[in-house]
Amino acid sequence: MHLQVIRDTEGHFRLRGTPEVEREVNAFLEAVSCRGLSPATERAYAFDLVVLYRWLAMTGRDMLKLLPADLVAFIAHQQGQGAQPTSINRRLTTCRSLYRFLTGHDLGQGPGVHTPTPYYRGPGRDRALGLHRRLRPSYLKLRVKTPYKLVEPLTRHQVRVFVRSLRRYRDLALVQFLLFCGLRSGEVLALRLGDIDFEEGAVRIHGKGNRERLVPLPPQLPMLLSKYLKLERPTTSVTDRLFVVLQGPRRGQAMTAAGLRSLFRHRRSHQPDLRSVHAHRFRHTFGADMTRAGVQVAMLQRLLGHASIQTTLRYVNLSFSDVAAEYERVVSTLEAHYQEKKP
């Protein structure tokens, strides 16, 4: 089945394919648009539906006649394609949302499905705060277990090597937003000229779910931004986005995610120490740096723009060198404590 994700004149994502698929899917995507979700969320829904409907066509299944056991077959197919567990779980959520939209009821349990037991965490209290008891659900939705992956923050050496490789004020300012403000790459690219308040020393961030937050500007960033705006940013720019393309046929247009990836990919290919450096690791480094400085988790959650504190806890992981140094300090204290005193 030939399916294509397109963007209409209003900037919303839609699918182009057979009339039947377009009728089902685009009505659902229009409902998603009405909820005011971000373009990135609409795009994720659209591409998940492409994967889903290609699988339906390949297996001869009908969206309106799906059974719970069919989701197990979908999971097996996705695993065979090498999809990550987080991607599979997101596509399962999209599938259930579309099924509920089309039929008016949930795609619940059924034969041939193994779901987690509702008491798999016990009747204990909330794991994050421990203030109240969790409600016991009647059943849990089918999901793939997601492995916990520890993201190591960048070392000082990696940050220095990367920053020294930059030759433009634009790139230096962009990386400082990642390293000292903890912004997502999409948040950096979405910044507009009016979001920078030089007098107050703050920047307005448009985060996930259209949630806005104010983040203080680091001391050096206003100077870099001023030089970028005066010396590098084309006066003929056709957008109010802060970061734009500086050369080539797209000069003056908004910088894209592909352009940001190219900025990092170019340096990874020329510096062996930067092979594992990408934009999101700067955000994790920001979380580790704030933790070293003693910033409270609740404050870090606000700076990072997380809706859940559980997500913030993934960003407070310190590097192995931090853990090793603290471990050595404690062990030396214990050794002195247990050492026999000489008479």
**Other C-beta atoms within 10 Å of 112: how many?**
11
DSSP 125: B
Which residue type, as a one-letter code, is found at position 192?
A: R
Which residue type, as a one-letter code, is found at position 201?
A: G
Per-residue pLDDT, 126:
55
H-assigned helices in 126-256: 156-164, 169-181, 185-190, 221-227
With 50 as the cut, is the pLDDT of residue 205 above it? yes
- For residues 229 and 245, give the distance between their C-alpha atoms in angstroms, rounded to a whole number: 13
- For residues 312 and 278, give the distance between their C-alpha atoms in angstroms, rounded to a whole number: 19
pTM of the model: 0.71
In the chain, domain spans? 4-103, 156-322
pLDDT-derived band at 318, boundaries 50, 70, 90 = low
Domain boundaries 4-103, corresponding CATH code = 1.10.150
Return the CATH class of domain 156-322. Answer: mainly alpha
* DSSP states along 232-262: IS-TT-S--BSSB--SSTTTTSBPPHHHHHH
**Other C-beta atoms within 10 Å of 42: how many?**
20
Q: Pick the residue with more confidence: 226 or 143?
A: 226
The pLDDT of 274-302, averaged and rounded, is 88
Q: Pick the residue with more confidence: 103 or 341?
A: 103
pLDDT-derived band at 54, boundaries 50, 70, 90 = very high
Per-residue pLDDT, 141:
77
Q: Name beta bridge partners: 203.
A: 196, 215
Question: What rounded mean pLDDT belongs to the chain?
Answer: 85
CA separation, residue 275 to residues 9, 157, 323, 329 (Å): 39, 13, 23, 31
Per-residue pLDDT, 341:
56
The pLDDT of 271-285, averaged and rounded, is 89
Closest CA to 142 of 116, 161, 163: 116
With 80 as the cut, is the pLDDT of residue 275 above it? yes
The pLDDT of 37-55, averaged and rounded, is 89
- For residues 211 and 181, give the distance between their C-alpha atoms in angstroms, rounded to a whole number: 16
SS3 state at 187: helix
Report pLDDT digits (tens) over 131-151: 555 555 555 677 888 776 667
Give the range among 11-15, 38-42, 128-132 with minimum mean pLDDT.
128-132
- For residues 139 and 289, give the distance between their C-alpha atoms in angstroms, rounded to a whole number: 40
pLDDT-derived band at 172, boundaries 50, 70, 90 = very high
